[in-house]
Structure 1
Amino acid sequence: MKWLVTGGAGYIGTHVVRALLAAGEDVVVLDDFSTGARERVPEKVPLVVGSVLDRALLDETFRAHAVDGVVHIAAKKQVPESVARPLYYYEENVEGLRVLLAAMVAADVTRVVFSSSAAVYGMPDVDLVDEDTPCLPINPYGESKLVGEWMIKATARAHGISYAALRYFNVAGAGAPELADEGVFNLVPMVLEKLTADQPPVIFGDDYDTPDGTCVRDFIHVVDLAEAHVAATRRLGTDPDARLVLNVGRGEGTSVREMVELIREVTGLRDIAPELRPRRAGDPARVVASADRITTELGWKARHDTADMVESAWAGWRAQRG
């Protein structure tokens, strides 16, 4: 099958493209390079430069490449930015998806894997978050992902589309040094940036109701996440009635303090202790996935632990920054 991967030149998208190619699938990449990089797209993969907001470009892409399905990763994803620029996030994430779905319907493309997020859950007060946990997002980014799920569900019902909405938890690591996350927005690269600049990494809040007082999160290796996308495309390729909403996590919680200490250990940069600051507004104490449903539905299970994530992220950090 041939899959259009939107955002296929970005951090997660690049890993998904390589995983699909390794699985024997054909791939076309669409990316506007707002965060992606041309050199990350393999030479043999057709590349369309532009935005999912460009309906004419999407129509031409579907005509020219005989696409069977879409893996929709392109989106804006920074929570603080979404609070400051909510209309921008609704335009990019919600209107962008609407335009993409309209183009899919017009081209009779009936399969979509959607990058959703654990941000749809907001601040759940449960030990393990399963897919039936109420969705109460607390920022425009999470809202945009939940609206996206609703839009896909309604379009699927009206137009016979099969879909898998994958709710990512905290993504880290790299499949190869050259594919490492170039942004400094998530915990691992943020800590690496501080340590390599001889500055203390920051921990926000140490008075939560958790074993060590810091927030607990579920971290997932980007390679495992990419393989989850492959499993989803395989399911959609054989099941035209698939209507799936699935967590992608390990089902294991790691505290922020534990993750910071692991990064200090792996890097050998242990001289600078972390700096403790007050809690940030809106940070839930614990968000850990129940990953049972994705195993049942797709036969997928995470293979990599947090040490794998940190070691591969550190190798990528050094390769990119000398």
Structure 2
Amino acid sequence: MIRELDASIFVAGDRGMVGSAIVRRLKNLGYRNIVTASRGELDLTRQAEVEAFFESRVIDQVYLAAAKVGGIHANNTYPAEFIHANLMIEANVMHSAHVSGVQKLMFLGSSCIYPKYAAQPMVEEALLTGTLEATNEPYAIAKIAGIKLCESYNRQYGRDYRSVMPTNLYGQGDNFHPENSHVIPALLRRFHEAVEQGAPEVVIWGSGTPMREFLHVNDMAAASVHVMELDHATYAASTRPMLSHINVGTGIDCTIRELAESIARTTGFTGRLTFDSSKPDGTARKLMDVSRLKSLGWQASIGLDDGLRDTYRWFLDNEGRVRD
């Protein structure tokens, strides 16, 4: 493991759920020179701004956690925004990092890069072997492009740009918008409001049968830093030149119905659960094969029930802000 505590580290997307967790993790480990910039200070979709940012300071490492993200509804409704914003962010940050001499970069992707009907659990080798899930294909293509950007800069210029592909993330700092959020924050808010209003039922999109894997954002941050700190030889030995990404997850999944029941217990909801099968389910199952990451010395430590309780406490502490 290589821990350069004085390195100048730019965390792109530090105001987001994952980026803020990475900043917390780095600080807890003793890193002293963390560079951040709000969107008001730096719009990562603007090439000139990103170039000027890298030209104006010395950066040793980059964690590229910035992205436009959302759930099924948001991906279906705003496909152009999702593919454009994510392509621009990745291309601008990686190219400017390369031009300014940044040797180490970490790109954070998504499990949606894998084909809709990939064998379960999904291994890294499944990339580009089949058709993507239609509801988030534009976002997935942007994330695949990010992986290939890393591989291309490594191949052509000898950079050390790495990619980690997380499963479904949740935790403090998540987006609790009633329509544009992912399943855990959306359900936490819906169940919480049902308890507040004394509602007899909560309606959940889909049949409840799809299976999903969930990873707490603090575990994701720990995994990202762990992979970044691996020496080059160890990391390279675990990948191949054109297959450089690493899955990050728990290796454990549950049905959406089971998730909803867990969230009901967490929020104290005792009413009826109703599943609206007229709404899309998305992929039937998405479970990551995390054997490669385990072989590199890391595995998740936060169980789903504990993670849901932690996330709900954060929601309650920040309710006035996140429900706007």
Range into which the TM-score falls when normalised by the shorter chain:
0.7 to 0.9
SS of 2:124 mapped into structure 1: coil
Give the structure-1-normalised TM-score. 0.84
Which residue of structure 1 aligns with residue 203 of structure 2? 202
Which residue of structure 1 aligns with residue 35 of structure 2? 28
2:184 to 188, 195, 205: 188
SS of 2:36 mapped into structure 1: strand
- Cα distance in 2 for partners of 1:17, 1:260 equals 30
> How is 1:1-322 mapped onto 2 (pairs within 5 angstroms)?
1-25=7-31, 26-32=33-39, 49-78=41-70, 79-135=72-128, 136-138=131-133, 139-174=137-172, 179=173, 181-184=175-178, 185-198=181-194, 199=199, 200-206=201-207, 214-235=209-230, 244-270=244-270, 272-278=271-277, 280-281=279-280, 283-297=282-296, 299-321=297-319
Deviation at 1:280, TM superposition (A): 3.9
Q: Does the 8 Å contact 1:214/1:285 carry over to 2?
A: yes
Letter in 2 for 1:15: A
Deviation at 1:279, TM superposition (A): 5.4
Letter in 2 for 1:11: M
- Cα distance in 2 for partners of 1:222, 1:265 equals 21
- Residues 229-271 of structure 1: CA distance to partner in whole angstroms, max 9, x if unpaired? 111221267879686311111000111111111111122122x
SS of 1:158 mapped into structure 2: helix
Q: Does the 8 Å contact 1:30/1:51 carry over to 2?
A: no
Distance 1:265 1:84, change over 3 A: closer
Letter in 2 for 1:293: R
- Cα distance in 2 for partners of 1:82, 1:307 equals 27
Letter in 2 for 1:56: A
- Cα distance in 2 for partners of 1:170, 1:58 equals 28
SS of 1:127 mapped into structure 2: coil
Question: Structure 1 stretch 14-23 or stretch 184-193: which is displaced more?
Answer: 184-193
Give the structure-2-normalised TM-score. 0.83
- Residues 262-305 of structure 1: CA distance to partner in whole angstroms, max 9, x if unpaired? 111122122x22211115446121111111111223x2110011
Q: Does the 8 Å contact 2:192/2:267 carry over to 1?
A: no
Q: Does the 8 Å contact 1:121/1:137 carry over to 2?
A: yes
- Cα distance in 1 for partners of 2:175, 2:83 equals 24
Letter in 1 for 2:299: K
How many percent of aligned residue pairs carry the same amino acid? Answer: 22
- Cα distance in 2 for partners of 1:245, 1:183 equals 30
Distance 1:202 1:165, change over 3 A: farther
Question: Structure 1 stretch 82-91 or stretch 140-149: which is displaced more?
Answer: 82-91
Deviation at 1:201, TM superposition (A): 3.4
Give unmatched runs, 5+ long, in structure 1: 34-48, 207-212
- Cα distance in 2 for partners of 1:23, 1:222 equals 16
Q: Does the 8 Å contact 2:61/2:103 carry over to 1?
A: yes
Distance 1:98 1:262, change over 3 A: same
Letter in 1 for 2:190: K
- Cα distance in 1 for partners of 2:232, 2:127 equals 29
SS of 1:156 mapped into structure 2: helix
Give unmatched runs, 5+ long, in structure 2: 1-6
Which residue of structure 2 aligns with residue 43 of structure 1? none
Letter in 2 for 1:90: I
Question: Structure 1 stretch 56-65 or stretch 129-138: which is displaced more?
Answer: 56-65
Q: Does the 8 Å contact 2:176/2:189 carry over to 1?
A: no
Deviation at 1:21, TM superposition (A): 1.3
Deviation at 1:170, TM superposition (A): 1.1
- Cα distance in 1 for partners of 2:203, 2:163 equals 33
Q: Does the 8 Å contact 1:224/1:304 carry over to 2?
A: yes
Distance 1:155 1:169, change over 3 A: same
